[in-house]
Amino acid sequence: MSAEGRPALDRSRPPVPGPGRSCSFPGFEVEELASGARLWTLDVPGCGLVTAVLLMPGGSELDAPGRAGLASFTAGLRGAGTKRRGALEFAAAAENLGTAVRTSCGWENAAVAATIGAGDVPAGLDLVAEAAAEPAFLDEEVERRRRRRLAEIERRRSDPAALAGTAFARAIYGGTPYGHPAIGDRGTTEAIARDDIARFHARALAAGSCHLIAVGDLGAGAVRRAIEDTVEPRLRDHARSFDGAPESLEPDFPAPAACRVVVVDRPGAAQTELRVGHSGVPRSHPDRVRLQVANSILGGKFMSRLNLTLREKHGYTYGVSSAFAFRRGPGPFAVSTAVANDVAGAAARKIVEEVERMCAEPPAAAELDDARNYMVGVFPYTLQTIQGLSSRLQTLAAFGLDRDEYHRWPERVRATSREDVLEVCRRHLFPDRLTVVAVGPAEDLLPQLEGLGTAEVQAAA
Amino acid sequence: MPEHLEQHELGNGLRVVLHEDRRLPLAAVNVWYHVGSKNEETGRTGLAHLFEHMLFQGSANVSENGHFEHVQKVGGVANGSTWYDRTNYYETLPANRLELGLWLESDRLGFLLEALTEEKFENQRSVVMNERLQRVNNQPYGLAGERLSELLYRRPDGTDHPYAWPVIGYMDDLEAADLDGVRDFFRTWYRPNNAVLTLAGDIDREAALEQVERYFGDLPAGTLPPPPAVEPAGEIGPRGASREILEDSIELPRTYSAWCLDGYGSDDWYAGELLATILSSGRMSRLHRDLVYERQIAQSVSAVVLPTEICATFAVIATCQSREPDPLANAETLESAALEHVEALASAGPTAEELERARRGLLLAHHDSRQDLALCADRLSCAATYFDDPSRAWTEPERLLAVEADQVRDLARRALGPERRAAVIVVPRT
């Protein structure tokens, strides 16, 4: 082949693109079933698979003091033995379809989910509904699960990232719901009784607050028929709405008036885990998209200010990122990284400086352009899989966002101006009230962190 | 070749795989260089991976960090990774920016050296040392996998098989690495005739091929060193018992066992994949059901066969549910219990029901993974690199479904015996 008839290749500058093809979030339908549950369907013809999720109340935000971990304990037992069959029999039924029924628990909701071949939809949905609506909570299974959870709590005592996350949440949220690890602690795990679990589940199984989300090769009405046969009969007797959500998820004490440092001592640790941040904003906040743009500039991509400074300029770390954890209440804003022990103080100071800079001046026009283009450009990338699409619908359902949230999201990103970025940073970032958590050898860390804020040392275990 | 898939070879030996999939306006660019940590030498480990980092530090026409900058500002994602046998580089871009990917990839293949500086090298050495700290030294159980490979792949005469050292390299070797070593590595291995370039997604195949020719056609081929001479898989592994006890900052003791099988693509490898699935995939798998569920002595179990080229590690890993009353005794009990399941499969093979369950699980997982364009492109590059046949990426399930019960049994019997097993036990530091 030759390049005849074309100008010689100029490698000195990037090629000029042709016109792009636009891509928006696909259409989907929502309807209310007789039980009161909402059915969300998004058809992806020809993919041969369906992913089905039953989203229900029962997230970790409901854990009461003294019962930390109850929500996720309960969630994990769904499908571990039902009123129809034992745990192994249930697992075999799913695995014979080549799949597994997965249970999970977030802050707002619990979920039961499976990805199945399009031809196995009735059998797959039957298992999802059975796990969600008919768990048996046999004593034997409760004790089995308790032992595994206690072992997981043990394991986390030596996991630097888990230690950092736990200490950071506790420092910011104290005794309010977001202050506890979703798994709970040894004491609460031992204290949770079988009756606590059964009662918690009975409260959570409120069809009027459930969402069934089916994405994939739905066929003409086949999935709908399967739902009538498998899900609806199990939800009909629970046709009420959930009314037990906590009234407030705000931290119960004011953010510190100054920065503070919490060192979790791990003598001899090879590296230091750092978390820097404070309480953020709820998912429903009108600034959410502008904050995502601001965060992209600060620490939301490889070319972010934090990564360029800490990794590419100073070589302090393999990587650093920042994020607003959008929850029903104000989830944390956090910068996360792992750095060499001898530069932990310098790295923490650079992080504080970068947060300050976001609040001091608007981003350069080109920097903002790059961030907006990045966010809009990678959007289709997240729409490739039925699980990716389903997770977007789950977010809409869980937070009660407008149905066109993702259809409008790209235009909202594009409409974010330099002034908007500065404004939302000034409104929601507090560089003078940051909590710095450092998990590593206190002996090395304390002198380096001196002057950043009042310091407290905790034992790792 | 299936519809929408084709392979070409340029005059300089670059193999080009084109896969059309127009569902979304995305184009994936994926390059595999057939070089990885197995092409390093003892004392200079970690070079292939350190080199991968240098490929993101700019080339003649791309500034330092320009690679990520160009890709991210148009809404693309980019990364790379290093493995024992290959190093890959990839971008997923808006489809109308495909040419940007070709410009970037051809610039660093053709014109990297003029942009390499000591300063960039020092910075990335530091980044990689932090990567090692994060993934290995400060990671619970982080050093166990390394030790296991050393035990399995260190020969009786003290020399190392090329899979003996970790891909990320040893800290001492990273400290000793220099820019000249990086330059030599580049000149030797980064040649079009040692690479596969896959373009997948919303592409016009004819136009794409023309652009590839334009950007890559004039880059010179090189002379490649011969592959490392190695013994057959059956001769790899310790002679007799070889087990080490490591202390680490952990709470739950863990046991590792490893053997060596024929490499990825062989009949034994596929039988190994079925064996691993039957042992540990799903709650009904043998190890999970017995050790986690029934006896409750394990917190987690896994059996894996690594997809490596010249031979493949088959590993069984099990973590104790408790350290009480005696961590080492618990680990030894768990180790024996796990090995009994391997022996049971070696003597009687899997049941028809188990085999069918494993097949269905593998088939669904393969089908599921076909949704991701970047992953598809990577699999096509893989199949073209190892087998000179990209369509093998799509026929993988057929090879797995063809494995019969007696092949699984025979493999366990022949290759997973006690005499070639390397083992590591990790107990809490006292």
pLDDT digits (tens, 9 = 90+) for A14-65: 999 989 888 899 999 999 999 999 999 999 999 999 999 999 999 999 999 8
| Confidence check: pLDDT of A265 > 70 | yes
Residue with tokens 């036990």: B425
| Confidence check: pLDDT of B239 > 90 | no
Distances (CA, A) of A67 to A61, A178, B100: 11, 14, 55
Distance from A169 to chain B by nearest Cα, in Å?
21
Interface test with B, best of A303, A321, A391 (most B CBs within 10 A): A303
pLDDT recorded at residue B302 = 98
Q: In what order do the strands lie in the sheet with B242-248?
A: B242-248, B422-428, B254-261, B312-320, B298-305
pLDDT recorded at residue A254 = 67
| Amino acid letter, residue B284 | M
| Confidence check: pLDDT of A3 > 70 | no
Instruction: For chain B, say whether A228 makes contact (Cβ under 8 Å).
Output: no
Between positions 244 and 283 of A, the ones with CB within 8 A of B are: 266, 268-271, 273
A291: phi then psi, degrees, rounded to nearest 5: -70, -35
pLDDT band at A142 (very low <50, low <70, confident <90, very high): very high
| Confidence check: pLDDT of B8 > 80 | yes
Lookup: tokens for A348? 């923490």
| Confidence check: pLDDT of A257 > 90 | no
User: Bridge partners of A457?
Assistant: A263
Closest partner residue to B360 among A98, A269, A381, by Cβ? A98
Would you call A371 helix, strand, or coil by DSSP?
helix
| Amino acid letter, residue B138 | N
Contact call for residues B55 and B185 (beta carbons, < 8 A): no
Instruction: For chain B, say whether A97 makes contact (Cβ under 8 Å).
Output: yes
CB contact under 8 A, A158 and B250: yes
Contact call for residues B81 and B37 (beta carbons, < 8 A): no
For A100, the closest chain B residue by CA position comes to B282
Q: What's the CA gap between A330 and A283, in Å, rounded?
A: 8
- Which chain A residues are Cβ-neighbours of B134 within 8 angstroms? 271, 317-318, 338
Average pLDDT over residues A120-136: 97
Burial pattern B192-221, b for ≥16 Cβ within 10 A else e, equals bbbbbbbbbbbbebeebbebbbbbbbebee
Between positions 108 and 147 of A, the ones with CB within 8 A of B are: 115-117, 144, 147
Would you call A359 helix, strand, or coil by DSSP?
helix
Closest CA to B342 of B239, B228, B418, B249: B418
Q: What's the CA gap between B404 and B83, in Å, rounded?
A: 30
Distances (CA, A) of B234 to B182, B219, B223, B402, B415: 34, 41, 31, 23, 7
Instruction: Tell me the ipTM for this assembly.
Output: 0.94
What proportion of chain B, given as a percentage, has pLDDT over 90? 96
pLDDT recorded at residue A163 = 98
Average pLDDT over residues A350-365: 98
- Which chain B residues are Cβ-neighbours of A370 within 8 angstroms? 69, 72-73
Lookup: tokens for B214? 């334009």
Closest CA to B226 of B113, B310, B105: B310
pLDDT recorded at residue A350 = 98
pTM of the predicted protein model? 0.96
Q: Quickly list DSSP for A25-40.
A: PPP-EEEE-TTS-EEE
Distance from A15 to chain B by nearest Cα, in Å?
6
pLDDT recorded at residue A222 = 85
Contact call for residues A126 and B273 (beta carbons, < 8 A): no
Closest partner residue to A17 among B97, B296, B356, by Cβ? B97
Give the DSSP H or E segment for A56: strand A49-57
| Confidence check: pLDDT of A4 > 60 | no
**What mean pLDDT value characterizes chain B?**
96
Average pLDDT over residues A435-451: 97
Contact call for residues A333 and A322 (beta carbons, < 8 A): yes
Is the backbone peptide bond immediately before B325 cis, with ω within 30 degrees of 0? yes
Lookup: tokens for B249? 């900052």
| Confidence check: pLDDT of A1 > 60 | no
Lookup: tokens for B78? 């980019």
For B369, the closest chain A residue by CA position comes to A385
pLDDT recorded at residue A316 = 96
**pLDDT digits 0-9 by tens, B376-416:** 999 999 999 999 999 999 999 999 999 999 999 999 999 99
Lookup: tokens for B408? 């699984």
| Confidence check: pLDDT of A2 > 80 | no
**pLDDT digits 0-9 by tens, A285-314:** 999 999 999 999 999 999 999 999 999 999
Closest CA to A392 of A26, A23, A21, A22: A26
**pLDDT digits 0-9 by tens, A153-205:** 999 999 999 999 999 999 999 999 999 999 999 999 999 999 999 999 999 99
**Dihedral, CA atoms, B302, B307, B310, B315, nearest 10 degrees?**
0
